[in-house]
Structures are given as C-alpha cells and as structure tokens.
Copies of this chain bind each other. A is one copy, B any other.
C-alpha cells in the first residue's frame, strides 16, 4: 500500500445550513455508522448571522468504510433533510496552489520555507509573475516559474492568457504581493479561492500606498490583512489580520521593512487555514474554525 494512503489522513466536511436541532447528531452518527473516528469538530451558529449554522468536522480516513463516490451518495439524504450547503475534502488530496508574485520576495520566501518544512501541506503547481526577478528563488525549490507580463493596453488579454494557462492545473491562488488588480472575469473564476495579502490593517488605508498614508497619519500600529479577493477592491472576506507597534522614529522605509514581517506571517496563516479547510465564507465574512 503506498505510503501516502496510510496513517493520519483525514476527511473534512464543511457545512452550512439553516440552524435547527439535530444537525450535529445526524452528522456524527453518519460518521460513526461508517466507522469514522472524529478528530476535530467545531460548529457555530448565531442569531446575528440570520440563524445560519456552520460546522466543520474532521475524521480519520483509514477506518472509514465509504469510498469517495459512495460517501457523497450516502450523505446526500442527510444534506437534503437539513438543506445543507456542504463540501468534503480529503487531506490526502493536497490542494494545488499557484503563487503570484511581482518583485518583492519576502512573502514568497516565507511560503516556500514553510511549504518545504512541511508546515504548509499543499502542492505548488507553479509561480507566476509579471517580472523575472524571483526566478532563481523558484529554481532553488524546483518549482516552475512562468513570466506573464501585464501591459496596460492588453490587460484583459494578458490575464485571460494566465487563466487559460492555469485551467485545470490549480485549486487556489495566492497573491504574495502581486501588485496587479485582477479583472472581474478572472476573480469570478476562482470564487473564495484567491488569497491576497493587503499591506495594511483593513479597513484603514484601503487603496494604494497604505504605508505612506500610515506614516502621514502618524499611527502607532501598522498591520496586514489576508483576505479572499472579491470584485470590490480591498473588500473581500477577511481571513487573518495582525499588527505591530511602530513609532515616530520609523521612516517610511522602516514602516515598509517592519511591515514585511507582519505581512508574511499573516499571509502564511491565511494559507494554512485555507488548505486545512478551516474557512467558511458567509456573505462578506469568514467563519474560521
């Protein structure tokens, strides 16, 4: 039996549905009846979210007796009874990522190191950039690096080419300081599957040059925000945020330098939450289990 099929692999359900009694019992009984051993289970419901119920349950794959297609058929009646939106994820099927970068390397280095040291359990299909600067870094980790220039006048076509190229090859995208605004048709191809790092504590300093404006305002904290891309700029559901202290001695350059530490940490955290299937999106907010 191939190594990757044994030990530690899990199946995870992400569920949302109208709140009512019996959901946890129904789901956990289903898992038990088919010999699954629940490893983590978390749920949330609140009147402040229109009575929607959210659940993440994760159980060992090895003892579970239903194989992939049967699982869906067998669970379907339960899903229908509770009017569920649901997805099932197999940890053994690692998500395939494409990382988009521009010239800044700090987020990419950090992602690659964490991936290489098994902290981020994903496959990296390729790195795409509108510059050639980080090619060597990709080579060091044996990851294909594709140069896709973006020209002002051919922006739509340029992005369409990337979309065509990626078709069928990836599950989600990471914008690791990519610095280009993606077109609506591009974004809607990967709904809640494009993670961006915004170099400010949103919603403070939306838009361009957040460090410059933070510097001008004389703030004492700078932050970073990882969020799913939506078609309204800087407005998608927030996955993770953090902030660090700064003071009057920090020049604009120092803020940028300090900011890099918090950016890379927040982006890595958001990627980890995404690939571990811990994020549910409800309207413009996330439930992070």
**Residue ranges of A at the interface with B (Cβ–Cβ < 8 Å):** 20-26, 28-29, 31-33, 35-46, 48, 63, 105-106, 109, 113, 117, 119, 136, 140, 201-205, 215, 217-221, 223, 237-243, 245, 247-249, 251-252, 257, 260-261, 265, 284-288
Contacts and interface: CB of A to CB of B under 8 A. Distances in A.
* Consensus secondary structure, chain A interface: mixed
A287 B248 contact: yes
A118 to B, nearest CB: 9
A282 to B, nearest CB: 9
A33 to B, nearest CB: 8
A172 to B, nearest CB: 20
Nearest to A140: B140
A178 B23 CA distance: 46
B221 A237 contact: no
Given A41-B24, A248-B44, A221 B204 contact: no
The 6 closest A-B pairs by CB, nearest first: A218-B285, A25-B32, A204-B204, A25-B28, A220-B241, A24-B28
Nearest to A46: B251
Contact of A243 (B238, B243, B285, B287): B243
A187 B251 CA distance: 30
Contacts of A22: 32
Q: Which one of A42, A205, A218, A287 has the highest number of Cβ atoms from chain B below 10 Å of its Cβ?
A: A218
Contacts of A25: 25, 28-29, 31-33, 38
A21 B36 CA distance: 7
A106 B115 CA distance: 12
Nearest to A264: B113
A285 B239 CA distance: 31
Contact of A203 (B37, B217, B242, B252): B217
Contact of A286 (B35, B119, B203, B248): B248
